[in-house]
Structure 1
Amino acid sequence: MSSLRLPAGFADVFSSRFVELNGLRLHAVTGGDGPPLLLISGWPQTWYAWREVMPALARHHTVVAVDSRGCGLSDKPGDGYDAGTLAADLVALMAELGHDRFDVVGHDIGMWTGYALAADHPERVGRLAVVDAIIPGLTPTPSFFTSAAVSQRLWHFGFNRLSDLNEELVRGRERLYFGYQFARKAATPDAIPEYAVDVYVDAIASDPRGLQASFGYYRALDETIAQNEQRKETRLTLPVLAVGGALYSGAQAAGTMRLVADDVTEVVVDDCGHYVAEEQPVRFVEILEGFLGSESTAEVLPG
């Protein structure tokens, strides 16, 4: 972590570690004291997406910010990017770290994994917080001839699922492609600082397996969708917090979770795009701590 730009005192609280899990090596950054809290980042990010909120969360939680298989410093095998396998990876990771039951926060595709964790391993997850995404297999699929605005937002789903052309087009142009994602999805083009974009892009471009792994989550969508069609037959009963950025997904995260969960707290964060933990870290910590520390999550918190 010494080469990364991090909040003051970060390295005094957190350490970087690798965990071996039956032939799969996962990377995580851990620290803090209290009930365990697993943070699952979105695409195309790494554990670094949580850097601004981790110190505050570590005051009351043992924080585990993970690089799921295929991202960051974790192994990048050729398969296993469906939500069920990713969830099983993280159950094994947390058990290896000594946490049999824990709370979960998942952003973007980390929301897909978070939902699978809660649905497939209900005995392991106490509370689930999801951030600014929809879930394939739960959220209704847009029509093929959808509006230009929807196409602008979702076009990368189809592109990322291509079998090989996407890698050929993006290789050598990673900064252009992934930088576009951050510029268009945040509240403003420069809301995610250049140094952070560099960290995310370098994590993909510096590894010859990086692009294949990055697109792997989308190439596995047929499997994830089929799994979710089965998962939704059993509703979640644990408390769920659904946070959306007002300038990106808004209430869609909560709308998605209400399709499958009985106890959903909705928060829409003003002046915020897709990357809530980076764009509005102070507000995000307030929202998350209010949820994790409350006895009842039936009310809707103000945005």
Structure 2
Amino acid sequence: MPPNGIQTPTPGGILEDSGTGESLDSRLAASLDGSFSSEYAEVNGVRLHYVTGGRGTPLVLLPGWPETWWEYRKVMPALAAHHRVMAVDFRGMGGSDKPASGFEKKTMAADIRELARHLGHDRINIAGHGIGAMIAFAYANNHPEATEKVAILNTTHIDNSYYDFPMVPRPGDKGPHRWWLAFNQVNDLPEQLLEGRYRHLIDYMFDLSLVNPDAITPYDRDVYARAYSSAEAIRASKAWFQAYQRDIEDFNAYAPVTAPMLGLAYGTFYDYMREALPAQGTDVRVVEIENTRNYLVEEQPEAVARELLSFFA
């Protein structure tokens, strides 16, 4: 393993059926340095999948879309040297249940609270990216007694500004235009278009938001495509977006987070986060991660791990 603790797994043909009945997630977890294991827990009415390893203070990692717990593969060994790491497929994602309801971020935060309680942790550190960042923020706001520190990666909690995103670019406006927010509000059609073909959307999203497209390899993209390509998975992932109106209502009622909060972002979104996040917490620090865009955990794992280790120390 490299001295900085950052790992780029090379699990070879792990996507192939092993013939032993062992799940893909179990084999992926075993491919990481540091004795990680794939586990399940029944909490808050859903069965959640998570990958855990390491020793020390508890640290929950929540992924973004269109990823799974595998998003954190490069940083988990470094973090596990100091923390009990739990990378969670939240409600609707990957190996976790895909129920018909409960996709409000406040409810999904309650899932994580019950998972932590189930594992014997009264207070946790929590970090999230994308949808996971919204859940992490909701966790810190709704469960302050159970929050040590919270890290928000590249996505602040959804707010009223989402209602104003333009769908049609003005002349000279290069975007990107977040058409996928509207697309995921549509009933039935995304399943018809994407079932068995989700890899196309995954490639589009990654290539749009990576400085170095090779940071997420074809193998990694296949892992994600396998997790999202079923009609059930597409329906559940859409539900994270279809809950946005309720999420905005919840956000408008939130008080500032009292736990120490770290924001990590790039470029123009770093500028936005530096302005927005201090109003959403009482103890906020914002750090720019350079040479990346949205998928900073996978593209700049050394910088992300360094900032998380420093913050959660």
Q: Same fold (TM over 0.5)?
A: yes
SS at match of 2:144: coil
Equivalent residue of 2:270, what SS?
A: coil
Letter in 2 for 1:244: A
Question: Does 2:278 align with 1:265?
Answer: no
Q: Kindly provide the CA deviation profile for residues 42-89 of structure 1, in whole angstroms up to 9, marking residues without a partner as x.
A: 011111000100000001000010000100100001111110110000
1:221 equivalent in structure 2: 244
Indicate conservation of the 8 Å contact 2:33/2:77, yes or no: no
Q: Secondary structure at the match of 1:180?
A: helix
CA distance in 2, matches of 1:25, 1:211: 18
After TM superposition, the structure 1 stretch with the greater mean CA deviation from structure 2, 7-16 or 264-273, is 7-16
2:98 corresponds in structure 1 to 76
More moved, 172-181 vs 131-140: 131-140
- Matched letter for residue 57 of structure 1: L
CA contact (8 A) 2:34 2:54 kept: no
1:255 is displaced (CA, Å) by 3.1
Change in CA separation of 1:82 and 1:150 when aligned onto 2, cut-off 3 Å: farther
Give me the whole-angstrom Cα distance separating, in 1, the residues matched to 2:30 and 2:84.
19
Q: Given the alignment, which residue of 208, 232, 256 partners 1:235?
A: 256
Cα separation, 2, equivalents of 1:179 and 1:145:
21
Shift of the 213–8 alpha-carbon distance from structure 1 to 2, 3 Å rule, reads closer
Counterparts of 1:215 and 1:54 in 2: how far apart (Å)? 27
Amino acid at match of 2:261: V
CA distance in 2, matches of 1:259, 1:159: 30
Q: Deviations over 1:129-150 (max 9, x none)?
A: 0101132226564354774557
Does residue 292 (structure 1) correspond to residue 312 (structure 2)? The answer is yes
SS across alignment from 2:158: coil
- 1:264 shift after superposition: 1.3
The match for 1:186 is 210
User: What pairs with 1:1-303 in structure 2 (closer than 5 Å)?
Assistant: 3=15, 10=32, 12-137=34-159, 139=161, 141-142=163-164, 144=166, 147=169, 149=173, 151-205=175-229, 207-231=230-254, 234-246=255-267, 249-293=269-313
Aligned residues: 289
Worse-superposed segment, 210-219 or 172-181: 172-181
Deviations 1:239-274 (A, max 9, x none): 11000023x733333433223112211111111121
Query: 1:198 deviation in Å?
Result: 0.8
| Mapped partners of 1:142, 1:157: distance in 2 | 12
% same residue: 36
The offset of 1:291, in angstroms, is 1.1
Q: Is the 8 A contact 2:140 2:257 kept in 1?
A: yes
Are residues 7 and 91 of structure 1, via their aligned partners in 2, closer, same or farther at CA, if it must alter by over 3 Å? closer
When residues 57 and 177 of structure 1 are mapped into structure 2, their CA distance, relative to the original with a 3 A threshold, is: same
Q: Secondary structure at the match of 1:42?
A: coil
> Which segments of 5 or more consecutive residues in structure 1 lack a partner in the other structure?
294-303
Show CA shifts across 1:108-154 (max 9, x none): 11111011001111001110101011322265643547745575242
Distance 1:55-1:62 versus aligned 2 partners, 3 A rule: same
Matching residue of 2:8: none
Q: CA deviation at 1:38?
A: 0.5
- Gap regions ≥5 residues in structure 2: 1-10, 16-23
Q: Which moved more, 1:277-286 or 1:160-169?
A: 160-169
TM-score, normalised with respect to structure 2: 0.85
CA offsets per residue over residues 17-40 of structure 1, 9 Å max, x none?
A: 010125311000011111000000
Summarize deviations over 1:196-232 as a string: whole Å, max 9, x none.
1111110111x4411001111001111111111111x
C-alpha displacement at 1:183, in angstroms? 1.1
Q: Following the alignment from structure 2 to structure 1, what is the Cα–Cα distance between the partners of residues 211 and 93?
A: 24
Over aligned residues, Cα RMSD in angstroms?
A: 2.3
Corresponding residue for 2:20? none
